[in-house]
Structure 1
Amino acid sequence: MAAVDDLQFEEFGDVATSLAANPDATTINIEGPGETPRHQPGPPRSSGREEDDELLGNDESDKTELLAGQKKSSPFWTFEYYQTFFDVDTHQVFDRIKGSLLPIPGKNFVRLYIRSNPDLYGPFWICATLVFAIAISGNLSNFLIHLGKNTYHYVPEFRKVSMAATVIYAYAWLVPLALWGFLLWRNSKVMNIVSYSFLEIVCVYGYSLFIYIPTAILWIIPQKAIRWILVMMALGISGSVLAMTFWPAVREDSRRVALATIVTIVLLHMLLSVGCLSGSFRHQSQQENQQNGRNPATIQSVWCRTEA
């Protein structure tokens, strides 16, 4: 057993003097900046393995995300808890918008842009901007279509804002919630399936709607054919972002379930696009019938009085 004096700390000045006083002391050699490190890198991984890690993630990234998530320990009823969802800078938002406009085949949108810091700032303001873009462009388009007609009296339709807000925010929250629950359920049956958090799915859906903002602004053009072409282009870009993002999450499942999931995601997205545009057209057609004296209710009442 070592003596008490051997366990005490001592201050050492010159190394040579210290070694002379205590020849049995253990020395540690600290390598200089120019020396070769002893740690050698492991064998290189194959390209297929790197692609799988990029799409599906690996253990190291999951551990890092888990440790990062442990830092956010504020209670959910505090302001600091929700402040972390909006802790994002302009550069990150711009990169995520650019990634939603230019989807890259073989690149996962969540792993490439979202997983490091998912946010609600971008999705919230994208949905809000899209709501007002649809409402304003719909009113301006209606004004331009009837411009020059003496029988037309322009009346702004503020209810378009509430209708667009209800549809868009319900889609941006309820569909991700259903998809998140479905992926959790399939993850309990297929162990190697990729799991996304609810915040990540909401983030993907929110940024995928950005392409519809310039599309809605171009709805001012009073040509139905051009509008449908613009909507189909926006649907192709945003739908491809969703399909390429969630395909790695379901491709390890059975082929029938994986294809059905992707088709359902794209169909719901198509329903949102076509529903917003066709709803605007239907309302304008009703106004045209009223201005031309061809209101179906008026025609039916006149026909009933004639029969009587």
Structure 2
Amino acid sequence: MTSRRAAQAQKPLATRAETASEFEEATNLLAETPDAATTSRTDQLTPQGHVAVAVGLGAEDEVEENDKTSLLQEEKQQPGFWTFDYYQSFFDVDTSQVLDRIKGSLLPRPGHNFVRHHLRNRPDLYGPFWICATLAFVLAITGNLTLVLAQRKDPSIHYSPQFHKVTVAGITIYCYAWLVPLALWGFLRWRKGVRERMGPYTFLETVCVYGYSLFVFIPTVVLWLIPVPWLQWLFGALALALSASGLVFTLWPVVREDTRLVAAVLLSAVVLLHALLAVGCKFYFFQPLPLEHIAPPPQAISLSPNTLLASTSPRTMVT
């Protein structure tokens, strides 16, 4: 009994000693972190026997809220269109996104909208810019190579490097990739005022669709180096069908809300302009130089022996 009473008497002393050590730890922690505050309730003890300390987070919360507010203000304050930062966002794409959009332009199918499935409201100018530049240089280079190959077959063809074709190809491709989408976008915006249910794409989305639709012509132009006319026209027809069908499938969800006549005329105009671009490039860049107008060599006149002898015999003097 005496040992039990002594043990019971020692328990309060041990509890007091632990509490004193806990208060000493809390005091040291407060000395190290002045913003900290200990909990007033002694029942909030951690499993390790330490006093639960709640760090004052009021200042940190205010800092986080201020940071969020500043970020929201920065997002709202978009740079002007005359600044470089405004256009930098349209070139912020990675290789996988560009390849996915090229693949979508090469494999059009009904019900698969290029804008909704590939652009996802994030149009870029990186892909269209380099696709147009590559197509312009490939057109000029293959056009010159066609003349070189033609000269090897026919030496009468005189070849000289035609550097002006690079300028012509660049102006043609870039004007088509920007002016035609601009006219299409303006027409759809005008029709939206007539037909309220129509929701046209943005101008950059329209430019992006046209830019990626021209990618199929890059391998087609390279294949036009094959000196077989019917094969060249076959490759051109396939490329035109793929490119034009991608444009039609993309524009159809927008124009189907309009009247049938307007939708048919608009889509026909889109296909016709695309065909004019392909056919014009085929005739201009893949025409051999004309033959040089060389005077034919003088042909020997066949004369009979009697005539030849008569002409060479000395004339007789008549007296």
Same fold (TM over 0.5): yes
Distance 2:183 2:86 in 1: 24
SS in 1 for 2:81: coil
Partner of 1:20: none
Structure 2 counterpart of 1:269, one-letter code: H
Distance 2:176 2:187 in 1: 16
The match for 1:244 among 241, 244, 249 is 249
Distance 2:219 2:116 in 1: 26
Question: Could you list the per-position Cα deviations for residues 148-187 of structure 1 after superposition, in whole angstroms to 9, with x for gaps in the alignment?
Answer: 4333343111111111111111100000000000010001
Percent identical among aligned pairs is: 53
Which protein has the larger Cα radius of gyration, Structure 1 or Structure 2?
A: 2
Tell me if structure 2 keeps the 8 A contact 1:239–1:266.
Answer: yes
Count of matched residue pairs: 233
Distance 2:124 2:198 in 1: 24
Structure 1: segments with no counterpart, 5+ residues: 1-9, 18-66, 295-308
Question: Which residues of 2 match residues 1-308 of structure 1 at below 5 A?
Answer: 71=76, 73-281=78-286, 283-284=287-288, 287-290=289-292
Tell me if structure 2 keeps the 8 A contact 1:152–1:291.
Answer: no
Structure 2 counterpart of 1:146, one-letter code: Q
- Indicate how the Cα distance of structure 1 residues 72 and 211 shifts in structure 2: closer, same or farther if over 3 A, else same: farther
- Indicate how the Cα distance of structure 1 residues 243 and 152 shifts in structure 2: closer, same or farther if over 3 A, else same: same
Structure 2 counterpart of 1:271, one-letter code: L
Distance 1:77 1:173 in 2: 18
Q: Given the two structures, how large is their TM-score scaled by the length of structure 2? A: 0.68
Question: Could you list the per-position Cα deviations for residues 65-124 of structure 1 after superposition, in whole angstroms to 9, with x for gaps in the alignment?
Answer: xx9xx6571122221111011111111000000000011211110011113310000000
Runs of 4+ in 1 over 2 A off after TM superposition: 10-14, 148-154, 288-294
SS in 2 for 1:106: coil
Structure 2 counterpart of 1:89, one-letter code: D
Structure 1 window deviating more from structure 2 (157-166 vs 237-246): it is 157-166
Tell me how far 1:190 sits from its aligned partner.
Answer: 0.7
Structure 2: segments with no counterpart, 5+ residues: 1-36, 45-71, 297-319
RMSD: 2.6
